[in-house]
Amino acid sequence: MSGASTEIAVAPVTPLRIIILGATSAIAEATARLWAPGGARILLAGRNEARLNEIASDLKARGAAEAIDWPLDCASANASAELGKMVDRLGGLDILLLAYGVLGEQAELERDPAAAARLITTNFSSAAAWCLAATAVLEKQGAGTLLVIGSVAGDRGRRSNFIYGATKGGLALLVEGIAHKLAPLGARAVIIKPGFVDTPMTAAIANKGPLWAKPEAIAASIVRAGEKGGPEIYAPGFWRGIMIVIRNLPVAIFNKINI
Amino acid sequence: MSEPFVTRSDILSWGRVVRAPQRVATPRFRDELDKLLGAANGASLLPIGLRRSYGDSCLNDTGDLIDMSRVDRFIAFDPAQGILRAEAGTSFSEILRLIVPHGWFLPVTPGTRFVTLGGAIANDVHGKNHHRAGTFGRHVRALGLLRSDRGHLTLTPESDAALFASTIGGLGLTGIIEWAEIALVKTDSSSLEVETIPFENLDAFWSLADASTEKFEHTVAWVDCLSRGESLGRGIFSRGNWTPYGFHDAHDDKTWKRVVADAPEFLLNPLSIGAFNELYYRLHAGRPHTKLQHYVPFFYPLDAIHGWNRLYGRSGLLQYQCLVPRATEREAIRALLEEIAKEGQASFLAVLKTFGDVPASGLFSFPRAGTTLALDFPNRGAATLALLTRLDAIVRDAGGALYPAKDGRISREMFRLSFPRWQEFEKDPAMSSDFWRRVSA
């Protein structure tokens, strides 16, 4: 302690250290744009290096203290080993956002078991491995947040997309359990459940009605989830009400409607 | 992913008159553009932005559209020199949010910030500072253009002067603008000191305009186009300069009001529009006053009502913007206002602005020395079109021009008279638009 301590102590503001898996997705990029002006240090993992590079330049212009390209196929990577390297690079982890996943076409997935297995591996098995690896890091730190993008499709199996829905439903259950485990340790996990989002994933759907949201709206919900709340949020929030209704429809009625 | 082009019925231009379904692809990354050029299968293509063009220059109903609004990243920003390089789909609104806190501003801006960088170049937009700064294209240092016949090019005003001059104001027809680098302007703050002065007729407008261009960076006038006789051309003159107060506050888009449905069309009749004009004039006519204004209400008053075009109902609106050269401007503007007042087909928004002598960079650039009049009319079909044709005749006799970004109807002859160098235009063979098919037919 210095004797002439007249200076005012200012708590150092540490920039957020953020890892984004699937950083080239529309929702992930929109979210990173909201984090960047606060001077975050953001590690961008995804398959297309040129695209990661373009996103990184943009985030730096918007104020990110650092934007690191991390070319990687998240679905086939060794999650635990790779996450270790990422966390070392950032010197710790405040937020991990898991944003990759594929939608697939239900009819094709039902015909082709190999395609279904690939979708399940990408959306669930590999994602679960990353979630478990992240849990270990957050547990050790006693701080930090795991954010996982699920879907309202995971809330009830429907004929139009139950294979995709099952992977997102499984992920929701996994994240719920992780949140329960982390709660006493000071860390958090949140599953974010978007409804219909206007992204390249859904580009083939031509006329989008009033329930459709822009990636920017989902991004705002994700940023809030990074600050507080959980373990389950709907994005936009009105989907919570819609899904309460859908989940509670009696089977006799549910089986008659085509959704 | 499957077929990149999706048929959509929700793609309209700002005037909402043309309602044909459009086939649209919405890429997010520049590396998708080559594939889209290949996927068109001989159909013509047209890159579009946020579709603030009023007529049909951003529509292509027998071909495909490439919606560039998601290719919207900053590539490099130098806050010391005020140089910005960004992808074509980046909006002016996003650019301002980035640059204003660093003390910079767009060198030229139109009356809405919801335009893309690529669209601003393709229409060579102008603003209230035209008499000082010229058009937007003059501030473009370089741009990336993807041609179907020549691949990826980097153009500067020096490197390929002819193709550069075609692309500035080129309506997206010279290829896909992928990115651009622009020179920003330093401002002392994010607010302006704005003087509002009522004027009782056209003569008073001309003297105000003459007295203002030297001392004020930004000038524009609103005109009550229903007033006749002695008070023909009465209106409100507005002129402003950046204040030296030192705050650099960017805007926040969260406070928009949104028009969620089309207004019923009976709201728009000569009586209600007349009442609006009268009220607007009286509200401001009290006495001249000066106030401090943030850049948003000064430059972008209509942006506060998101989707204001829907106030014109389902039939939409026809915007008419013409320019008449210095030598004939006084008689021509008088003749135009007389014709409109006589007809009684009122316009809410009539804007007068004198352009300066700064030459524009593009073959199809609209501004040139003289005076521009912009009006919008509720679309009443044949009656409105007939009035606009009579206005065309006045503009043609005055040696004037019409603005492609605002047009949905001019003839091939009127287009060629407006842009006498049209033969030098280096169109991309793959590109076309509804507008282009009409004026080149």
pLDDT in tens, chain B (441 residues): 457 899 998 899 999 999 999 999 999 999 999 999 987 778 999 999 999 999 999 999 999 999 999 999 999 999 999 999 999 999 999 999 999 999 999 999 999 999 999 999 999 999 999 999 999 999 999 999 999 999 999 999 999 999 999 999 999 999 999 999 999 999 999 999 999 999 999 999 999 999 999 999 999 999 988 888 999 999 999 999 999 987 899 998 765 667 767 777 766 676 777 777 777 777 776 678 899 999 999 999 888 888 888 888 889 999 999 999 999 999 999 999 999 988 877 677 789 999 999 999 999 999 999 999 999 898 989 999 999 999 999 999 999 999 999 999 999 999 999 999 999 999 999 999 999 999 998
Q: How far apart are CA A74 and CA A148, in angstroms?
A: 14
Which of the two residues, A120 and A229, has the higher pLDDT score?
A120
ipTM of predicted assembly, 2 dp: 0.91
A-chain CB neighbours of B30 within 8 Å are 54
Residues B277 and B175 in one domain: no
What's the pLDDT at A174? 98
Residues B219 and B254 in one domain: yes
Residue B200 burial by Cβ neighbours in a 10 Å radius (0-12, 13-18, 19+):
middle
Domain boundary among B142, B170, B187: B187
Closest chain A CA to residue B95: A62
- Kindly tell me if the per-residue pLDDT of A84 is higher than 90: yes
Out of A48, A203, A207, the one facing B9 most closely (by C-beta) is A207
A-chain CB neighbours of B91 within 8 Å are none
Q: How far apart are CA A209 and CA A69, in angstroms?
A: 36
Torsion, Cα B156 B161 B166 B167, to 10 degrees, reads 0
Tokens of B192: 């302006």
Q: Does B81 touch chain A (CB under 8 A)?
A: no
- Kindly tell me if the per-residue pLDDT of A2 is higher than 80: no
Are B75 and A61 inside 8 Å of each other by CB? yes
Q: Does A206 touch chain B (CB under 8 A)?
A: yes
What's the pLDDT at A205? 79
Residue-number span of the structural domain to which B165 is assigned = 74-187
- CATH number for the domain spanning B176: value is 3.30.465.10
Name the B residues in 24-63 with CB < 8 Å from any A CB.
26, 28-31
Residues B177 and B201 in one domain: no
Cis bond leading into A184, ω under 30°?
no
Residue B32 placed within a domain: no
Q: How far apart are CA B158 and CA B151, in angstroms?
A: 19
**Contact by Cβ (8 Å): B4, B39:** yes
What's the pLDDT at A126? 98
Residue B55 placed within a domain: no
Q: What is the pLDDT of residues A40-72, one digit of tens each?
A: 999 999 999 999 999 999 999 999 999 999 999
Interface test with B, best of A57, A102, A216 (most B CBs within 10 A): A57
Residue B64 placed within a domain: no
Residues B129 and B222 in one domain: no
Helices (H) and strands (E) in chain B, counts: 12, 21
Residue B40 placed within a domain: no
Residue B277 placed within a domain: yes
Residues B196 and B110 in one domain: no
**Contact by Cβ (8 Å): B226, B212:** no
Q: How far apart are CA B199 and CA B221, in angstroms?
A: 9
- CATH number for the domain spanning B386: value is 3.40.462.20
Q: Which of A100, A124, A130, A164 is catalytic?
A: A164
Residues B408 and B291 in one domain: yes
Residue B69 placed within a domain: no
What's the pLDDT at A12? 52
* Banded model confidence at residue A214, pLDDT cuts 50, 70, 90: very high
Out of B8, B28, B75, the one facing A206 most closely (by C-beta) is B8
Domain boundary among B156, B187, B218: B187
Residue B413 burial by Cβ neighbours in a 10 Å radius (0-12, 13-18, 19+):
exposed
Tokens of B424: 């030098």
Q: Residue A164 catalytic?
A: yes
Structural domains in chain A plus CATH codes: 17-249 (3.40.50.720)
Q: Does A21 touch chain B (CB under 8 A)?
A: no
Indicate whether this model's pTM tops 0.95: no
Q: How far apart are CA A221 and CA B197, in angstroms?
A: 46
Query: Cβ atoms within 10 A of the Cβ of A53, count?
Result: 14
Element (H, E) at B198: strand B191-199
Q: Are strands B218-223 and B350-355 parallel, antiparallel or unpaired?
A: antiparallel
A-chain CB neighbours of B6 within 8 Å are 203-206
Residues B269 and B159 in one domain: no
Closest chain B CA to residue A61: B77
Q: Does A209 touch chain B (CB under 8 A)?
A: no
Q: What is the pLDDT of residues A25-36, one digit of tens each?
A: 999 999 999 999
What's the pLDDT at A230? 83
Hey, what amino acid is at B164?
A: F
B-chain CB neighbours of A69 within 8 Å are none
Residues B301 and B349 in one domain: yes
What's the pLDDT at A13? 62
Q: First and final CA of chain B: distance in angstroms?
A: 37
Residue B2 burial by Cβ neighbours in a 10 Å radius (0-12, 13-18, 19+):
exposed
Residues B177 and B230 in one domain: no
Residues B269 and B365 in one domain: yes
* Banded model confidence at residue A210, pLDDT cuts 50, 70, 90: confident
Hey, what amino acid is at B182?
A: I
* Banded model confidence at residue A1, pLDDT cuts 50, 70, 90: very low
Residues B196 and B177 in one domain: no
Residue A34 burial by Cβ neighbours in a 10 Å radius (0-12, 13-18, 19+):
middle
Closest chain A CA to residue B24: A206
Residue B56 placed within a domain: no
The per-residue pLDDT of chain A, averaged, comes to 93
Residues B283 and B313 in one domain: yes
Residue B34 placed within a domain: no
- Kindly tell me if the per-residue pLDDT of A209 is higher than 90: no
Number of domains in chain B: 2
Are A204 and B26 inside 8 Å of each other by CB? no
Q: Are strands B74-78 and B83-87 parallel, antiparallel or unpaired?
A: antiparallel
Distance from CA of A61 to the nearest CA of B (A): 6
